Amino acid sequence: MLDYFSLAFVVAVKVFKKTTPNGKVTVYLGKRDFIDHMDYCDPVDGVVVVDTEYLKGRKVYSQLVTTYRYGREEDEVMGLKFSKEMVIGQDQVVPMVNSKMELTPVQEKLLKKLGPNAYPFTFNFPDLAPSSVTLQPSEEDQGKPMGVEYSLRTYVAEQEDQKSHKRSSVTLAIKKLQHAPASRGRRLPSSLVSKGFTFSNGKITLEVTLDKEIYYHGEKLAANVIISNNSRKSVRNIRCMVVQHVEITMINSQFSRHVASLESREGCPITPGASLSKSFYLVPLARSNKDIRGVALDGHLKEDDVNLASSTLVPEGKCPTDAIGIVVSYSVRVKLNCGTLGGELVTDVPFKLLHPAEGTAERQRFNAMKKMQSIERHRYENSLYTNEEEEDNIVFEDFARLRMNEPE
C-alpha cells in the first residue's frame, strides 16, 4: 500500500511554503536541502507571493542568514554571546530590482501558477561556506543547540535595514549539505603499526584495511584486521570503533565521539607466535547515539530520519585547514589490549561518510528509503498535500509542519 502511495507523487514537483502570521506574504521553495558539489553549489531559488494592497508603498526583502553557535545559550550571561549571525545574501524582492533575472524551471512553473503577485528571488552561497551541522545536546542542556544553521528570512519594511515586525516576517530553516563524488574510487585505506616492549624481544604487528574509502549513511562498514604476535606478550581482546572527530574552528576546539563500537574476544588470547585475521562490521547511525552529547548531526534534532554529520570536504586545490564552521571527519580505530603491563596498541584508519551523489543508483535507493520513512511517520496525520493545487504537476507542502523546532 505504501509503495502505491509513494509512486503517486513521483512525477510531481514538491514545493514547500510558509506564510507570515498575518497571511499577507507567502514564501515558496523548491527544496530545503541545498547541495555543495565542490565546483558549484545549488542556488537558493524561490518565489514570494505578496498582497500588494497590504504593502502601501513598503517593500519586501529577503535575506540568506547563517548562525554559528559555538557555545551553550544558557552560559550567555552579562552580555556575553556564544553565537554569530551573518547575513550572507540580501535582496529586494518586491518591487523587483533585477527584471532580467535568470529563472530556474521551478521558478518558471511557480510564476505561471501563482499569478502576477509572485516575485522570484535567488541567492548563492559564498565559496567555502560551511555545511549545516548540529551538535547533539544532553538532556540537561537548555536553549538552542550548538552548530551551523542557515535560514531564509523574508520581511516587509520601508528600508532593508529597518527592524521587521514578527507578524509580517517569515523564516524558513534550510540546510547546506555535501554529497559524495559520483565515483568512490578504488583506494582501500589501510594502516600498519607495531609495538615493542621494554625488556622483551619481538613486536606485535597490527594491520587494518577498510573495504572502501567513502561510505554512505546507513551503509555497513567492514574493517579487515590482521594481527601477528611475535612478542612474548598476549593480546587479551580486540576493540573496534567508528570515531567521529569534530573541530569547532571559531574557538579552536577539537573532540571525538564513538558512534559505533564492538569488542571481541574471539580468537583471543593471541599467544606468542600466533596470528589472527578477522573482519569487523559496524554501522554508524544517528539513532544509535541519541543519548551522547556532542555527536554532530546534519539536521534538526526532532527529525526521525536525521543522519550523522557528513565528512567535511574541501574543493580541489584548497587546504583542509581552510575549512570553517564545524569540521567533521571519521576514522575506524582498532585497539588491542595487551594486558596490564603490555598496555595497548592502537591505530586509526580515516574514511569519509557522505550522502550518495545525485543521479547514482545508490542515491535513488537512499531517496526511496527516506520517502518510505517519511510516509510511515506522517500516515496518521492529515495529508500534507493539497490535491486541489496539483495542476501543472506542482504539489505544495506546508514547510512549518516538518520543521517542528525551526528557529523563529
pLDDT score at 305:
65
> Is residue 328 a contact partner of residue 307, using CB atoms and an 8 Å limit?
no
* CB-based contacts of 386, cutoff 8 Å, min separation 6: 395, 396
- pLDDT on residue 363: 54
Query: How far is residue 99's CA from residue 93's CA, in Å, rounded to a whole number?
Result: 10
The model's pTM:
0.81
- List the beta bridge partners of residue 297: 134, 308
The pLDDT tens digits along the chain (408 residues) read 444 444 444 456 778 999 999 999 999 998 888 988 877 889 999 999 999 888 888 999 999 999 998 877 777 777 788 888 899 989 999 888 877 788 988 899 999 998 899 999 999 998 888 899 999 888 777 778 888 999 999 999 988 888 888 898 999 999 998 888 888 878 899 999 999 888 778 899 999 999 999 999 989 999 999 999 999 889 999 999 999 999 988 788 899 999 999 999 998 899 999 999 999 999 999 888 888 889 999 876 555 568 899 999 887 777 767 778 889 999 999 999 988 888 899 999 999 999 888 765 555 555 555 555 544 444 434 443 334 344 455 666 776 544 444 444
* In contact, 175 and 132? CB cutoff 8 Å: yes
CA atoms within 13 Å, Cβ hemisphere of 26: 16
Reply yes or no: is the peptide bond before residue 95 cis, omega within 30 of 0.
yes
From residue 217, alpha-carbon distances to 41, 231, 242, 307, 326 in Å are: 21, 39, 13, 7, 19
Task: Report the distance separating Cα 200 and Cα 390, nearest Å.
Answer: 77
Output the CA torsion sign for 257, 261, 263, 264: negative
- DSSP letter, residue 312: P
**Residue 227 one-letter amino acid:** I
- The three-class DSSP label of residue 251 is coil
Single-letter amino acid, residue 320 = P
Q: Please, are residues 99 and 174 in contact by the beta-carbon 8 Å criterion?
A: no
Distance CA 54, CA 168 (A): 10
- At residue 138, the pLDDT reads 80
Which grid cell is 381?
496525520
